[in-house]
Amino acid sequence: MATEVDTWPTAPKADGMLLYDDGQAEAVRPGSDDDDALNEAEMNGNWTPQEKALHEARIKAKAKRRQRKSSSRNSTSDSISESGDLAGGDPHSPKGKVLTNDRKSRMGKGRGLPKKGGAGGKGVWGAAGMVYEDEEPDARDPNYDEVAQGDTVYATVVPEVDEKELEKMVNPIVQEYFEHGDTKEVRLLLKGLNLGLHKYEFSSLAVSLALEGKASHRELTSRLLSDLTGKVLSEKDMARAFDKMLKELPDLILDTPEAPQMLGQFIARAIADHVLPMNFLDCYKGKVNCDHARVALDRAAVLLTMKREMIRLDNVWGVGGGLRPVKHLVKEMNLLLKEYLISGDVSEAEHCLRDLEVPHFHHELVYEAVVMVLESKGDTASHMMIKLLQSFWKTGLITVDQMNRGFQRIYDELPEISLDVPHAQSIMETFVDLCYEESVITKQLRDACPSRGRKRFVSEGDGGVIKN
């Protein structure tokens, strides 16, 4: 009969399972605290090399876990068990878990209270008992309600014009003003600009442009300065601008040789229009070293002495362009033609006609010239007028349209002219033929001249010779 002997198994039945003397299998979890059993199994020599290496790795991992738990930043007063749970706490409750985003001190110090007593940080209400003052609503706030804020006033902030950009902005305004002549529009444009401390320079720039322009431009500039004074610019600003121009006369003469005389006329007109103070000239007595400035001031003093009884020096520049009345233009053209018949100077007549600055009204000159030919005696006036019209035609001073309109007016009024000049019809025919021969008028204009009706012959049998 065989005897039953209790023996130890030589190898585990499964990975991680060991058999003990009671014959029952107990699972050995990695990282368990049963060190004695493991050591005894090792001493018996029943472990394979793979099991021994696995056991050492588990021991090292357990040591690392213990080290991390002991150095945790959240373990200030409570001890942490080896399993990672708070001692005496419920591992399934939120308080029993380790919180990594709490506001406790990470250095192990403090009482665990919020910083600054709850008054600091983003999105907090501040400390207890803090009283807040009324704050104005911020338009950049995402919760800003424009309707709930009531009436909102928007103010346009215009930056101040730089001194370097002032000339670029002022020149177009002045040039356009020379075309339309509306001072109100210039005033509105200047109010829209923030000229700042450099607003006095607008007057000096406008006068500088007028010196390079025509007489009509200078007249418009004087009117503009008069309208801006007291509304946009003050007398002090005007005086400062003219003082600057007196100092810049040596440079202005390079472009405009007559700048001193013209600037003197500007000063006289400005004083008469109450743009400059009455004692403006007195401030320069004995203090001027520049010869050009002295010429300008002397010119202004002479004009003011001559026109002492006049309130305004309206005719200091003459009345130029279309601003002149029609009667005045007709009178000027008659005077021009009469002076030409006396002197015979074509260049002077051309210069006077250009100074009138009325290219749209040159047909009146043609009309008045032909009327003088019809009312004159002899052929002298006829030849001189043909020479004058031919010169104007070649230089382009009188265009085709203006020449045709002048002659057509004579054709339409010829019956009325014949009442005062009985031989106006025959004189007109002769003058038109001469003008066509000298290439003053076109063939169509010559053919449009009205005839006297049926031509009279010397006799019926003379071969059709026309009686002169």
pLDDT tens digit sequence for 124-178: 777 777 777 777 777 788 877 766 666 667 777 778 888 778 888 899 999 999 8
In a domain, 100, yes or no: no
Beta carbons of 340 and 349 less than 8 angstroms apart: yes
- pLDDT by residue (tens digit) across 365-423? 999 999 999 998 888 899 999 999 999 988 888 999 999 999 999 999 998 998 888 88
pLDDT at res. 227: 92
DSSP 443: H
For 18, 20, 425, the CA distances from 55, given in Å and listed in that order, are 13, 18, 143
For the chain, how many structural domains are there in total?
2
Whether residue 339 sits in one domain with residue 236:
no
Domain end: 279, 306, 333, which one? 306
Query: CA triplet 109, 115, 117: central angle to 5 degrees?
Result: 120
Same domain, 296 and 180: yes
Q: Are residues 172 and 301 in the same domain?
A: yes
Phi, psi angles (nearest 5°) of residue 219: -65, -45
The reply to whether 463 falls in a domain is no
Judgement on whether residues 254 and 367 belong to the same structural domain of the protein: no
Q: From its phi and psi, is residue 302 left (phi > 0), alpha (psi between -120 and 50) or beta?
A: alpha
CB distance 410 to 367 below 8 Å: yes
Q: Which residues of the chain have pLDDT under 50?
A: 1-33, 73-89, 95, 309-311, 454-457, 460-462, 464, 468
In the prediction, which pLDDT does 292 show? 92
DSSP letters spanning 222-259: HHHHHHHBTTTB-HHHHHHHHHHHHHTHHHHHHH-TTH
Which DSSP category does 26 fall into?
A: E
Residue with tokens 């950049």: 140
- CB 353, CB 365: distance < 8 Å: yes
User: Are 199 and 269 members of one domain?
Assistant: yes
Residue 461 lies in a domain: no
Domain boundary among 306, 335, 365: 306
178 and 301, same domain (yes or no): yes
Same domain, yes or no, for 294 and 167?
yes
Position 324 scores a pLDDT of 67
Residue 247 lies in a domain: yes
pTM: 0.48
- Tokens 């829209």 appear where? 192
Whole-number CA gyration radius for the chain: 56
Q: Domain check: are 270 and 330 in the same one? A: no
- The answer to whether 231 and 266 are in contact (CB under 8 A) is no
Residue 41, in any domain of the structure: no
The Cβ of residue 69 has, within 10 Å, a number of other Cβ atoms equal to: 16
| Whether residue 296 is found in the same domain as residue 400 | no
Residue 206 belongs to some domain of the structure: yes
SS3 448: coil
Q: Is 245 exposed, middle or buried (0-12, 13-18, 19+ CB in 10 A)?
A: buried
Q: End of a domain among 278, 306, 334?
A: 306
Using CA atoms, how far apart are residues 29 and 25, in angstroms rounded to an integer?
13
CATH code assigned at 427: 1.25.40.180
Residue 119 located in a structural domain: no
At residue 84, the pLDDT reads: 45
Contact 329/356 with Cβ under 8 angstroms? yes
- Residue 191 domain boundaries: 163-306
* DSSP 3-state of 123: coil
Query: Are 175 and 273 within one domain?
Result: yes
**Any domain includes 76:** no
Residue 2, pLDDT score: 41
In this structure, what token pair is assigned to residue 75?
A: 């373990």
* 340 and 442 housed in the same domain: yes
The residues near 164 (Cβ < 8 Å, ≥ 6 apart) are none
Task: Give dist(CA 376, CA 344) in Å, integer.
Answer: 16
Residues 409 and 333 in one domain: yes
* Distance in angstroms (rounded) separating the CA atoms of residues 257 and 249: 10
**CA 388, 389, 391, 397: dihedral to nearest 10 degrees?**
120
